[in-house]
Amino acid sequence: MLPLWAKNILFLLVYMISGLVLVVIIEGLVSGTDLIPLNTAVEKVIVGMRTPILTTLLVKVTQLGNPFVLSSATLFAATILLVKRRAYEAILFVVAMMVATTSLVVFKNTFQITRPISDIYTASGWSFPSGHTTIATAFFFMLSYTFFAKMRTLARKIGLVLASIGATILVCFSRLYLGAHWTLDVLAGVALGLLAVSFTILIFNIFVERRRSLIERINS
């Protein structure tokens, strides 16, 4: 396991990089032209990949990646942690997801960008950033972070990380494939999810984790 200072440096890097990516995307949106060709190019490639079987599969994927479903999964994971007397981790998990959700709502209502028009899928609400992508990124990031140390073998640790990355990628791809979002929406969603989680973990590490007595009281 990494020492606390090393963890903080790692999550600070994630925070800074994801924040920078988000800023670049927002600047591109504000300019109105810089990043639009990326949306168009990816959309053309995605449309050419569509088949009835793949469409059916990715509709199921996007349903499983629904923010409500993942919020319910968060409560389930928190309940398991509480039963195992790991209240600190349960609180961290829930707070990180709340930060991601709140940030998502703020961004959507601030920019109010309309969705692309899709002939195979209907979605409502504002497009930027992708809610599915933001919440999925935050959820699977926290899932790996919370349970990584509890995996007894290296193979299980690697499996957990790869499964989390794979699930996030599937949700991201499903939103693009179904035409529910622009490419920039999905990239911003990933960045926002990473930003929210890394910020929350850093705050907990700096202000809570050093106070071992407080953690012991929380877990008691």
Closest CA to 185 of 111, 98, 100: 111
- Integer Cα distance of 48 and 44 in angstroms: 7
The number of beta carbons lying within 10 Å of the beta carbon of residue 200 is: 23
Q: How far is CA 154 from the centre of its chain?
A: 24
| 99, 195 Cβ separation under 8 angstroms | no
Residue 33: the pLDDT is 64
How buried is 104 (Cβ within 10 angstroms: 0-12 exposed, 13-18 middle, 19+ buried)? buried
pLDDT tens, the chain, 220 aa long: 677 778 889 999 999 999 999 999 998 887 766 667 777 888 888 888 889 999 999 999 999 999 999 999 999 999 999 998 888 899 999 999 999 999 999 999 999 888 888 888 888 889 899 999 999 999 999 999 999 888 888 999 999 999 999 999 999 999 999 988 989 999 999 999 999 999 999 999 888 776 655 656 555 5
CATH class of 4-219: mainly alpha
Residue 48: the pLDDT is 85
Residue 34: the pLDDT is 62
- Tokens 């940030």 correspond to 103
pTM of the full predicted structure?
Answer: 0.90
Q: Where are the domains of the chain?
A: 4-219
**Cα atoms in the Cβ-side hemisphere of radius 13 Å centred on 163:** 12
Tell how many helices (H) and how many strands (E) occur in the chain.
Answer: 9, 0
